[in-house]
């Protein structure tokens, strides 16, 4: 038996690397950064495609295992097939020895992805040779996802990833949190900025707080290899001429990264993967033809803050000393999810990484108004130059001075929209109005002197529809609120509108709003109606099935439906699903269907049955929720995680050198399932025979996370390089040997051999 173990020692050490301790990631034990453990949970991902008999690498990146059964968090741009990354097979390489490059070990499939946030969840499903892996049989190292909202400026973080295209061992970069950046896609902390030096191939990896929790994903989007500004590497003979040269295609890797996607954005993806629910848009419409124009960004103005609809509160020309909030607004056209955009900021001629945004994938619609900004971080005095880039090419630039006094200037601010009642009140939800003949706007004004030239310009779908130029009237006063309106005798069409206000030919305020639906309750828009849940054998049956608010446990397919009216093509709308109040699906996309229709159909599906819980569908336009419906499955509450409720006894202890009595690190402790003996395992060496396992820490301590069940026979194998193995069959926990559920603590001495 000992000789058998020695022959297989290197293989088992390799297996143990894959199945590293879950005990060290226990929330009760994580008190400090366990870097070695994190490195073992970090993988290298290659997106590949078959060309003839050759496997061609199209894109590469880093990923992090976030569940014991093989869920991997990474970027979407390097894994979801697209024009820049056209591969169809994802190969996952893992650490065998931390000081060496990773070794290809598995294949994975995409189970959840959000291209806008550039995040994806993969699941390991096959061995590297394509052999299927039984679901639930893996026991891999995985990290805990932390709360990124708790991060503060100057917090220390550690970034882990692969610094090259698989030729080098894993790298570790340390730095601090230097700022936060806001976007419409994610609010005030859409991006975490860091001083860490992060290479492009570390994109998709992990950034960790001092407790060892993953709090961010380094994210960048390399330009297409055809772009002259692209950074890419040629590593393979892709054209079959037996040469590796400039004639071969290259792998885009990008430059250095200074931006992290917050880990909190991952929660819906993880929740959906854990539920095993797929969300299918059964109703689909023909995609509208693109205009064919090149992506474009055009500067609009700066604002000190944004309102609840993501619109500027006012437009400013300078920023006073000590200001800690600034947002750059710009128009965008012809953008796609594969467009790469970037913001470069220079302060007094020197590039300012804290306020710049490295190249990332576009997360908005095809056209509209966007912003990049920051709050809670002081902008030092100086001259700031801002340059927006699209696909590596400068699109627009502007300048702002911080430190100038702006008191006393005439100002418009705080635009809101609605309908006006007979008493002169503006009613509605401010930024989504029902269609009709008139729409009102109200704004604040300050320091307006009599006779000051001002103007209001209204746009519909980018085209000017009404312009009024005038001089400020004495009866309006210098400070107050003012109502204005846009009218059409034939009715205002549904779609996207904009109001721009000018003072002395200078843009002073701007905001977009949407007209859609009919009037409901006076000033509110009725866009989505008839929303409900049902179940049926086919989509056609679902369209005519009765409404259902309670489903039996094990229901595989649940449908949601809604009707809509007067919704213009291109209007951004949001579909969200929650379970027990927690989102597991959220997508914002342009509407591309007819303006009015019935029975938009969505399917929630799980082959094992949609888990028990209370499910809710929410429909929104912009930031305004317009419809919601709820249904219950089974008991109406998600079951608690099975590992959290499993009864049993936890096994832990310490492994010591028998001579020095010092702890031995890196020892593999394997617990074999009840159906197998040590002999069975050493003969077949199959992962599905393992119940759980761990590796001892630097002090020789170990902990098996999965509890041992009572009156169940297990086998145990303990292996370490340079020591004789320890094996035992028929390890059992029962009421006689262990009457309570307190952990079993053991100390074992290893003999050198």
> Domain holding 53: CATH number?
2.40.10.120
Q: Categorize the per-residue pLDDT at 29 as very low, low, confident or very high, splitting at 50, 70 and 90.
A: very low
3-state secondary structure 481-548: EEEEEEECCCCCCCEEEEEEEEECCEEEEEEEEEECCEEECCCEEECEEEEEEECCCCHHHHHHCCCC
The winner for highest mean pLDDT among 126-140, 236-250, 541-555, 732-746 is: 541-555
360 and 446 belong to one structural domain: no
Residue 237's pLDDT is what?
61
State both tokens at 216.
């961010």
Residue 24's pLDDT is what?
30
Residue 575 resides in a domain: yes
Contact of 329 with 367, CB cutoff 8 Å: no
Residue 455 resides in a domain: yes
How many Cα atoms are found within 13 Å in the side-chain-facing hemisphere of 574? 16
Q: What is the Cα–Cα distance from 99 to 380, expressed in whole angstroms? A: 43
Mean pLDDT within 484-489: 94
As for how many domains the chain has, the answer is 5
172 and 48 belong to one structural domain: yes
Residue 299 resides in a domain: no
239 and 322 belong to one structural domain: no
Residue 516's pLDDT is what?
95
Mean pLDDT within 72-96: 90
597 and 714 belong to one structural domain: no
Q: What is the Cα–Cα distance from 619 to 632, expressed in whole angstroms? A: 18
How do the residues of the chain divide into helix, strand and coil, expressed in percent and rounded to 5?
10, 50, 45
Residue 3 has pLDDT above 90, yes or no: no
State both tokens at 307.
């309102």
The torsion region of residue 670 among left (phi > 0), alpha (psi -120 to 50) and beta comes to beta
Residue 244's pLDDT is what?
63
Residue 147 has pLDDT above 60, yes or no: yes
Residues 342, 347, 353, 355, CA torsion sign: negative
Closest by CA to 330, choosing from 292, 349, 353, 357, is 357
Closest by CA to 552, choosing from 635, 486, 469, is 635
Residue 501 resides in a domain: yes
Q: Categorize the per-residue pLDDT at 649 as very low, low, confident or very high, splitting at 50, 70 and 90.
A: confident
Q: What is the pLDDT of residues 253-281, one digit of tens each?
A: 777 888 999 999 998 999 998 888 999 99
166 and 210 belong to one structural domain: yes
Which residues fall within 8 angstroms of residue 644, CB to CB, at 6 or more apart? none
Residues 170, 68, 262, 254, CA torsion sign: positive
Residue 21 has pLDDT above 60, yes or no: no
Q: What is the Cα–Cα distance from 677 to 510, expressed in whole angstroms? A: 73
Residue 647 has pLDDT above 60, yes or no: no
Mean pLDDT within 3-24: 34
Q: Categorize the per-residue pLDDT at 357 as very low, low, confident or very high, splitting at 50, 70 and 90.
A: very high
422 and 355 belong to one structural domain: no
Which residues fall within 8 angstroms of residue 116, CB to CB, at 6 or more apart? 185, 337, 361, 362, 363, 364, 588
Q: Categorize the per-residue pLDDT at 544 as very low, low, confident or very high, splitting at 50, 70 and 90.
A: very high
Contact of 400 with 386, CB cutoff 8 Å: yes
Residue 743's pLDDT is what?
77
Residue where one domain finishes, among candidates 519, 548, 582: 519
Q: What is the pLDDT of residues 98-110, one digit of tens each?
A: 888 999 999 999 9
Contact of 327 with 304, CB cutoff 8 Å: yes
- Radius of gyration over alpha carbons of the chain, in Å? 30
The torsion region of residue 543 among left (phi > 0), alpha (psi -120 to 50) and beta comes to alpha
Q: Categorize the per-residue pLDDT at 291 as very low, low, confident or very high, splitting at 50, 70 and 90.
A: low
Q: For residue 751, count CB atoms less than 10 angstroms from its CB and return exposed for 0-12, middle for 13-18, buried for 19 or more.
A: exposed
44 and 182 belong to one structural domain: yes
Burial 659-688 (b: 16+ CB within 10 A, else e): eeeebbbbbbbbbbbeebbbebbbeeeebe
Residue 118's pLDDT is what?
92
Residue 290 resides in a domain: no
> Which of 13-22, 559-568, 575-584 is predicted least confidently?
13-22
628 and 498 belong to one structural domain: no
Q: Categorize the per-residue pLDDT at 243 as very low, low, confident or very high, splitting at 50, 70 and 90.
A: low
> Which of 142-146, 256-260, 574-578, 741-745 is predicted least confidently?
741-745
Give the DSSP letter of residue 410.
-
Closest by CA to 86, choosing from 74, 77, 97, is 77
Residue 646's pLDDT is what?
42
- Domain region containing 447: 411-519
Residue 153's pLDDT is what?
92
> pLDDT higher for 544 or 705?
544
Closest by CA to 512, choosing from 187, 290, 184, 182, is 184
611 and 463 belong to one structural domain: no
> pLDDT higher for 50 or 463?
463
91 and 208 belong to one structural domain: yes
Q: What is the Cα–Cα distance from 171 to 182, expressed in whole angstroms? A: 29
Q: Categorize the per-residue pLDDT at 696 as very low, low, confident or very high, splitting at 50, 70 and 90.
A: confident
Query: Please, what is the average pLDDT of the chain?
Result: 86
Residue 5 resides in a domain: no
| Cα→Cα distances 386→219, 340, 350, Å | 21, 17, 12
Q: What is the Cα–Cα distance from 84 to 227, expressed in whole angstroms? A: 11
Q: Categorize the per-residue pLDDT at 659 as very low, low, confident or very high, splitting at 50, 70 and 90.
A: very high
Residue where one domain finishes, among candidates 380, 402, 424: 402
Residue 15 has pLDDT above 50, yes or no: no
Q: What is the CATH number of the domain that holds 559?
A: 2.60.40.1930
Report the residue count for the chain: 753
Residue 440 resides in a domain: yes
Mean pLDDT within 641-669: 77
Residue 225's pLDDT is what?
54
Q: What is the CATH number of the domain that holds 381?
A: 2.60.40.10
Residue 562's pLDDT is what?
98
| Cα→Cα distances 340→77, 255, 361, Å | 10, 13, 5
Mean pLDDT within 703-719: 84
Residue where one domain finishes, among candidates 367, 383, 402: 402
Q: Categorize the per-residue pLDDT at 5 as very low, low, confident or very high, splitting at 50, 70 and 90.
A: very low
592 and 729 belong to one structural domain: no
581 and 435 belong to one structural domain: no
What is the CB neighbour count within 10 angstroms for residue 617? Answer: 23
The winner for highest mean pLDDT among 234-238, 645-649, 734-738 is: 734-738
Q: What is the CATH number of the domain that holds 709?
A: 2.60.40.1120
> What is the three-class DSSP state of 637?
coil
Q: What percent of the chain has pLDDT over 90?
A: 59
Q: What is the Cα–Cα distance from 466 to 457, expressed in whole angstroms? A: 6
Residue 640 resides in a domain: no
Contact of 549 with 453, CB cutoff 8 Å: no
Residue 288's pLDDT is what?
60
> pLDDT higher for 59 or 640?
59
């Amino acid at each position: 038996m000992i000789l058998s173990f020695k022959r297989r020692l290197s293989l088992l050490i390799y297996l143990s690397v894959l199945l590293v301790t879950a005990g060290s990631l226990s929330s009760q034990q994580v008190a400090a950064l366990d870097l070695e453990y994190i490195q073992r949970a970090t993988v290298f991902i290659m997106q590949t495609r078959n060309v003839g008999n050759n496997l061609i690498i199209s894109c590469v990146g880093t990923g992090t295992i976030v569940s014991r059964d093989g869920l991997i968090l990474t970027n979407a741009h390097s894994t979801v097939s697209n024009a820049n990354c056209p591969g169809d097979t994802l190969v996952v390489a893992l650490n065998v020895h931390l000081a060496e490059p990773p070794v290809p070990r598995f294949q994975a499939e995409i189970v959840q992805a959000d291209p806008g946030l550039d995040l994806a969840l993969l699941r390991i499903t096959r061995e590297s040779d394509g052999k299927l892996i039984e679901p639930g049989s893996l026991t891999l190292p995985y990290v805990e996802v932390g709360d990124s909202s708790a991060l503060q400026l100057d917090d220390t973080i550690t970034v882990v990833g692969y610094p090259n295209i698989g030729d080098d061992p894993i790298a570790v970069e340390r730095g601090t949190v230097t700022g936060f950046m806001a976007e419409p896609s994610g609010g005030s902390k859409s991006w975490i900025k860091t001083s860490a030096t992060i290479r492009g191939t570390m994109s998709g990896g992990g950034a960790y707080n001092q407790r060892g929790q993953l709090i961010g994903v380094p994210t960048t989007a390399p330009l297409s290899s055809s772009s002259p500004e692209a950074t890419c590497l040629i590593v393979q003979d892709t054209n079959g001429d037996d040469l590796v040269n400039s004639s071969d295609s290259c792998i885009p890797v990008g430059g250095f990264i200074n931006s992290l996607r917050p880990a909190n954005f991952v929660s819906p993806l993880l929740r959906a993967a854990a539920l095993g629910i797929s969300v299918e848009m059964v109703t689909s419409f023909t995609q509208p033809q693109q205009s064919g124009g090149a992506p474009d960004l055009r500067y609009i103005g700066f604002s000190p803050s944004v309102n609840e609809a993501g619109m500027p509160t006012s437009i400013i020309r300078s920023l006073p000393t000590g200001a800690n909030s600034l947002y750059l607004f710009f128009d965008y056209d012809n953008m796609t999810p594969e467009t790469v955009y970037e913001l470069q900021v220079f302060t007094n001629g020197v590039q300012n990484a804290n306020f710049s945004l490295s190249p990332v994938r576009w997360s908005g619609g095809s056209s509209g108004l966007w912003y990049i900004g920051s709050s809670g971080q002081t902008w030092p005095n100086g001259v700031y130059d801002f340059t927006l880039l699209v696909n590596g090419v400068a699109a627009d630039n502007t300048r702002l001075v911080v430190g100038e006094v702006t008191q006393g200037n005439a100002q418009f601010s705080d635009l809101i929209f609605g309908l006006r009642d007979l008493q002169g009140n503006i009613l509605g939800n401010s930024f989504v109005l029902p269609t009709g003949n008139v729409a009102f706007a109200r704004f604040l004004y300050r320091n307006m002197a009599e006779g000051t030239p001002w103007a209001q310009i209204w746009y519909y779908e980018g085209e000017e529809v009404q312009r009024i130029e005038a001089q400020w009237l004495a009866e309006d006063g210098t400070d107050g609120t003012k109502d204005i309106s846009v009218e059409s005798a034939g009715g205002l069409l549904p779609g996207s509108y904009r109001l721009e206000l000018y003072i002395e030919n200078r843009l002073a305020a701007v905001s977009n709003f949407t007209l859609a639906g009919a009037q409901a309750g006076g000033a509110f828009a009725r866009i989505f109606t008839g929303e409900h849940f049902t179940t049926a054998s086919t989509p056609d049956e679902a369209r005519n099935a009765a409404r259902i608010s309670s489903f039996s446990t094990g229901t595989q397919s649940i449908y949601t439906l809604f009707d809509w009216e007067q919704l213009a093509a291109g209007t951004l709308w949001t579909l969200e699903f929650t379970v027990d109040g927690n989102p597991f699906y959220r997508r914002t996309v342009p509407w591309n269907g007819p303006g009015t229709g019935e029975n938009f159909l969505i399917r929630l599906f799980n082959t094992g049955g949609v888990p028990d819980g209370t499910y809710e569908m929410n429909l929104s336009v912009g930031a305004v929720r317009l419809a919601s419906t709820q249904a219950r499955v089974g008991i109406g509450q998600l079951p608690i995680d099975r590992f959290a409720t499993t009864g049993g006894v936890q096994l832990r202890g310490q492994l010591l050198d028998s001579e020095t009595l010092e702890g031995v690190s890196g020892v593999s402790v394997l617990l074999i399932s009840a159906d197998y003996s040590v002999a069975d395992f050493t003969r077949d060496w199959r992962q599905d025979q393992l119940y759980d396992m761990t590796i001892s820490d630097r002090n020789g301590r170990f902990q098996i996370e999965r509890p041992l069940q009572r009156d169940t026979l297990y086998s145990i194998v303990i292996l370490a390089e340079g020591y004789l193995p320890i094996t035992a069959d028929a390890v059992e926990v029962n009421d006689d040997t262990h009457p309570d559920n307190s952990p079993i603590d053991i100390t074992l001495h290893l003999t050198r051999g």
